[in-house]
Chain A
Amino acid sequence: MTRYLPFILRNTLRNKRRTVLTVLSIVISLFLFCTLRTVITSLAASLESASSARLITRRSTSLTFMLPVSYRDRIAQIPGVADASWMTWFGGIYIEERNFFAQFAVDPQRYLELYPEYRLTPGEKDVFRRERTACIVGEKLARKYGFEVGDRITLRGTIFEGVWDFTVCGVAHPATPDLDTNWLLFNGDYLNQRMGDFGQVGAFVLKLDEPARAGDVARAVDATFANSAAETKTETEKAFQMGFISMLGNIQAVIYALGTAIVVAIGLVSLNTMMMAARERTREIAVLKALGFADRTVVGLVLAESLLITLAGGLLGAGLARLVFGLTDFTAGGFFPSFAVTDGTVAQALGIALFLGVVSGAAPAWNAARLHIVDALRHTG
């Protein structure tokens, strides 16, 4: 087929404006497809990084209600719980609202030990435990804002009002690159004291002796606080994060519906282009067949042209998405820990481009194969 390549290229560029517009529409639609699919893969990646050896205990009614910090000691005594710590969502604003990133007030004594996948030096941990206004930033956040140890960070509280000043005492490095490090942790004692020793926390983190016993332990924890003023709901870290995601509604179904609509729409665009291109060339196709080009060769030429257009669009669209989100370190305002277009997404986009090429080229190729030479030579299109 390579000997026909110059001919195919010439035909593809015959109507440059139409070809460029078709390729552009495929570029845009597959860029959108990659973006939408990356929403799903990013959410899935954040779930994958969740540990099966940890449970999260929160208020049974809603995440927005808090639990007494005194629960920690009772939870730690439940069989199967190796250790327990706590955290509270802070929700502050760094300079302006669009600089969103997660901030937690955490138990300074134990919390860091429950997350060994984030690496800190013993010295950094020690300062964090001792200094009331100490904070730790994740590697990605530090890189984004240029935070270094010793820097001051000021947050404006939204849930906990006021201006909150912190000093960076460490930068946490992830053990694996898929881990989110777009966050800030600060010494929970600072929050507690400024709020008048209010003794409330957002959730507890439980380290399990045996991950296989997660179900039993969760039931035991919730049973301990059943019929109390603050009943609990305990679930695995993954289920807890899924709960967060499900608050967005059935985002996956919406994304798939949008993706399908985009693919169908663009399929019709490229089908229309190929039908027009083939119809304009009815007489030329007849000439080729008269010269001895077999039906299968003519079919191959039409399909190759269609594939060239859609694959060019696919490569550019997927490549652009990868480049844009790779270079800009896009996180949708911190909503996604990592928004990387995966190899799988690129492969899917190219698969769609291939599919579009075959589908949009099939009808004109079939017509070209069935073309009656004598009739088509009379064609004056």
Chain B
Amino acid sequence: MENLAGDRPIITLRGVSKTYRRDTIAVPVLAALDLDVAAGEFLALMGPSGSGKSTILNLVSGIDSPTAGRVEVAGVDLGGLDGAALAAFRARHVGFIFQSYNLIPVLTAFQNVELPLLLTALDRRERRQHVLDVLEVVGLKDRSDHFPRQLSGGQEQRVAIARAIVSDPSLLVADEPTGDLDAASAAEILDLIGCLNREFGKTVVMVTHDPRAAERAHRVLHLDKGVLVEAVRRERP
């Protein structure tokens, strides 16, 4: 896996605003936000519901677009990409970790993890090797033929993390990755995300309400009503 650790920004947001429309009512969520995230950084976004933290996650992962401003990720200006190019960008650069795992229930753990690789030119044998490698990283190689319903919540999230990293993206976006887990499983998942950041140099942007989860990050940004109100920086280990 590529190691992008360093201080050059992998994410740059300049003057980013986002306003949602609910029927005829405009709901501003972000207002002229500037943000840099360094390659290899572990960033946590905190704040009350509706503060705009998930919107930042959506914007940097290319599944939503700003109303104004510029979003650049891994040297790519996302505003200049059409739907197909954005899809290709996500496949290449972004790994998603969702709160409720979002595994496909009819596919085994192996097949779920394999999904992003179906978009690559890898042949069946190569795909198999990649999938088994990442399942080993998340400690679930022996559960590769299990369906999501046969796994615990923590195991499901680990499969989801394996799916997020199997195509070796530079950026992991995690939206409340421990929100549905008990404390022990949550700690395991945070350990795993921390390991991916430290050992494999993945840049992590994580939305969380949990202060214990945020403690794992190098930097914690607090948002309120679309504005950054506080930043806490920790020493990178």
Chain A positions within 8 Å of B, measured between CB atoms, are 3-4, 6-7, 10-11, 13-14, 283-284, 287-297, 373-374, 377
Contact = CB atoms under 8 A, between A and B. Distances in A.
Contacts of B107: 7, 10
22 contacts: A4-B118, A7-B104, A7-B107, A7-B118, A284-B102, A284-B104, A287-B96, A287-B102, A288-B115, A289-B63, A290-B63, A290-B90, A290-B96, A291-B96, A291-B163, A292-B90, A292-B94, A292-B116, A292-B167, A293-B119, A295-B87, A374-B63
A294 B88 contact: yes
Interface string B78-116: 000001100111111010101000101111000100011
Interface of B is mostly: helix
Interface of A is mostly: helix
B230 interface: no
Nearest to B64: A374
Given A6-B111, A7-B107, A374-B64, A292 B119 contact: yes
Contacts of B116: 291-292
Interface of B: 58, 61, 63-64, 83-84, 87-92, 94, 96, 98, 102, 104-107, 111, 115-116, 118-119, 124, 163, 167
A14 B90 contact: no
Contacts of B64: 373-374
A11 B102 contact: no
Contacts of A297: 119
By CB atoms of chain B within 10 A, which of A13, A292, A293, A373 has the most?
A: A292
B87 A11 contact: no
B67 to A, nearest CB: 14
A233 B104 CA distance: 74
Contact of B83 (A11, A284, A294): A294
A11 B90 CA distance: 24
Nearest to A287: B102
Contacts of B83: 294-295
A228 B64 CA distance: 92
Contacts of A291: 90-91, 96, 115-116, 119, 163
A369 to B, nearest CB: 9
